[in-house]
Amino acid sequence: MGILVIGSVAFDSVETPFGKVDDVLGGSATYFSTSASFFTDVRLVAVVGEDFPEEPLDFLRSRKVDLTGLKRSPGKTFRWKGKYGFDLNEAQTLDTQLNVFEQFHPELPAGYEDAEYLFLANIDPELQMEVLQQVRRPRLIACDTMNFWIEGKREALIKTLKRVDTLVINEGETRQLADEPNLVRAARKVLAMGPKTLVVKRGEYGVLMFTEHSIFSAPAYPLESVFDPTGAGDTFAGGFMGYLAATRSDDEATIRRAIVFGSVMASFTVEDFSLDRLRRLQYSEIEERFRRVKLLTDFEGLS
């Protein structure tokens, strides 16, 4: 039955050393659902304002994303403005206008409660819990969060994590959540909060996965041209969850392959602004880049 994602659909204004764009399509649920749609069916729950045009919605529909759960409310759409320096791992937020997203309370349309794969994108953990109270028995629940919620809504976040199978966050958030500077020890503390799997996004340095009994490392695909890292983490999560839903498997070997597919999807996103690279992406390119990433770490036969 594919994936259900709850998150934001937004307008982004982004400046990097390589260019600048204003009011382009963005939002965690947008990046996630577009990425996941290359692997499986996706149902999206989010809110937009009266100012949101039809073209981005037509694009999502062309990717076979079910928009029954996308609500249009009176007011303006969520907007984010940010700037990156030459260290593209960290964005400087210049302006955030929540607008209709400020009053957003996710309501699942009929049939959505039966979702087998659920991704709770980076939203208020109290809203994440509202979704968990509406779904029945998902096969896999994964979520994202950020430093703002770790600091300001820690108790609610910890409550949510008790019901989550997989947590997908970055390195700084892992250390902050665990209150531990050493990443390995921090990962152990986070796993003790409830998730069975912790996936740590490390930008250009790749991904680390922690479980109770293992650690797995996957490299980022080396790129000559990186224009805009906005949405790379959500694109990673979409590829990761999309592959798991497509295979309907959750053994460790499959999870490791899913992490590589997530990294591959993120590598395409950063090659252009907004979702422009994903708009023209072909699945054959995904397969080819997956093969190249495997070769990056293949050392069998070498002495």
Cα within 13 Å of Cα(34), Cβ side: 32
The pLDDT of residue 35 is 98
Give the chain's domains with CATH numbers: 3-296 (3.40.1190.20)
Tell which phi-psi region holds residue 111, choosing left (phi > 0), alpha (psi between -120 and 50) or beta: left
With b for 16 or more beta-carbon neighbours within 10 A and e for fewer, the 137-164 pattern comes to ebebbbbbbbeebbeebeebbebbbebb
pLDDT per residue of the chain (303 residues) written in tens, 0 to 9: 689 999 999 999 999 999 999 999 999 999 999 999 999 999 999 999 999 999 999 999 999 999 999 999 999 999 999 999 987 877 889 999 999 999 999 999 999 999 999 999 999 999 999 999 999 999 999 999 999 999 999 999 999 999 999 999 999 999 999 999 999 999 999 999 999 999 999 988 999 999 999 999 999 999 988 899 999 999 999 999 999 999 999 899 999 999 999 999 999 999 999 999 999 999 999 999 999 999 888 777 665
Cα within 13 Å of Cα(291), Cβ side: 6
The pLDDT of residue 240 is 98
The pLDDT of residue 302 is 61
Strand 117-120 and strand 207-210: the pairing is: unpaired
Look at residues 237, 165, 202, 207 and name the one whose alpha carbon lies nearest to residue 6: 237
The pLDDT of residue 1 is 62
